[in-house]
């Protein structure tokens, strides 16, 4: 199944709805998709019985402090396929780094100090936790919370210097799309100059990302041939599988 970029862009959808206009194509599907997305969660992340969640809530300072040795490790590496493979192999779930960061940022989202600014309703939220500074070798840290069972695409953007992005599913099976495919618990690392939608499918997740020099650009046009897709067994829209 293939949809046009105009139909799935969160920003475009908001503009259509605000102006009382309809998308050019797939009007019914898109509206159904949007309503289902908005109704799909309460805005409260479902943390379940995750043993990694700390007894006393962690703080933003805990996240920054835990990130200091991490950025020291990656500061002279370039985002891309090699770094992504290394992160998933050496710093994935079960490693001290991944487990610590995941526990801290889950606390942050649950307690409201991370991903607490709504971009498009309670199921698409973001916040920059710290801007680039010498303490973190001029990396910034941002957290995004996205929650949608059907495919949802956030704001299209470009990474002038690349991105190092940790994926923390809150629902089993929730996935984020990276440049090399759909990613569950682990990492993606889009190359410098690459651009993409943040795309989620299968439920709620947190993306915790480190940006060299804090650079990210929303001044980028979506390619006309952008290829929307979902893994087999997942839902492209709210109308699928019903
Ligand atoms: Fe990104």
Query: What's the whole-model pTM score?
Result: 0.80
Distance 56 CA to ligand 1 centre (A): 31
- Best CA proximity match to 9, nearest among 228, 238, 240: 228
In tens, the pLDDT along 6-19 reads 444 444 333 333 33
The pLDDT assigned to 56 comes to: 75
Distance 54 CA to ligand 1 centre (A): 28
Instruction: Give the confidence band of 240 by pLDDT, cuts at 50, 70, 90.
Output: confident
The pLDDT assigned to 54 comes to: 52
Distance 154 CA to ligand 1 centre (A): 10
Phi/psi at 110 (5° precision): -65, -35
Q: Average pLDDT of 113-132?
A: 98
The pLDDT assigned to 112 comes to: 97
Instruction: Give the confidence band of 239 by pLDDT, cuts at 50, 70, 90.
Output: confident
Residue 4 near residue 24 (C-beta atoms within 8 A):
yes
Query: What does the domain layout of the chain look like in residue ranges?
Result: 1-242
- CATH class (in words) of the domain with range 1-242: mainly beta
Q: What is the C-alpha end-to-end distance of the chain, expressed in Å?
A: 16
Distance 209 CA to ligand 1 centre (A): 8
In tens, the pLDDT along 22-66 reads 333 333 333 333 333 333 333 444 444 444 455 679 999 999 999
In tens, the pLDDT along 95-112 reads 999 999 999 999 999 999
Distance 242 CA to ligand 1 centre (A): 31
Distance 216 CA to ligand 1 centre (A): 8
Distance 102 CA to ligand 1 centre (A): 18
Distance 191 CA to ligand 1 centre (A): 10
Distance 157 CA to ligand 1 centre (A): 6
Kindly tell me the burial class for residue 189, based on how many C-beta atoms sit within 10 Å of its own C-beta (0-12, 13-18, 19 or more): buried
């Amino acid at each position: 199944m293939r949809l046009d970029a105009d139909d799935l862009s969160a920003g475009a959808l908001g503009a259509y709805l605000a102006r009382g206009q309809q998308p050019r194509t797939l009007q019914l599907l898109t509206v159904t998709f949007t309503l289902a997305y908005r109704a799909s969660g309460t805005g409260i992340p479902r943390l379940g019985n995750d043993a990694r969640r700390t007894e006393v809530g962690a703080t933003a300072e805990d996240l920054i402090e835990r990130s200091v040795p991490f950025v020291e490790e990656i500061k002279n590496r370039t985002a891309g396929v090699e770094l992504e493979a290394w992160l998933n192999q050496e710093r994935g779930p079960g490693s001290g780094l991944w487990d610590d960061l995941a526990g801290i940022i889950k606390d942050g989202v649950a307690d409201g100090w991370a991903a607490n600014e709504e971009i498009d309703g309670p199921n698409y939220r973001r916040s920059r936790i710290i801007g680039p500074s010498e303490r973190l070798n001029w990396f910034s840290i941002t957290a995004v919370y996205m929650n949608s069972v059907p495919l949802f695409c956030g704001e299209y953007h470009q990474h002038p210097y690349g991105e190092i992005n940790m994926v923390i599913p809150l629902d089993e099976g929730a996935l984020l799309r990276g440049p090399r495919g759909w990613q569950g618990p682990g990492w993606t690392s889009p190359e410098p100059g690459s651009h993409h939608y943040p795309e989620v499918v299968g439920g709620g997740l947190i993306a915790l990302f480190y940006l060299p020099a804090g650079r990210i650009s929303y001044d980028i046009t979506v390619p006309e041939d952008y290829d929307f897709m979902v893994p087999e067994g997942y839902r492209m829209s709210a109308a699928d599988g019903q």
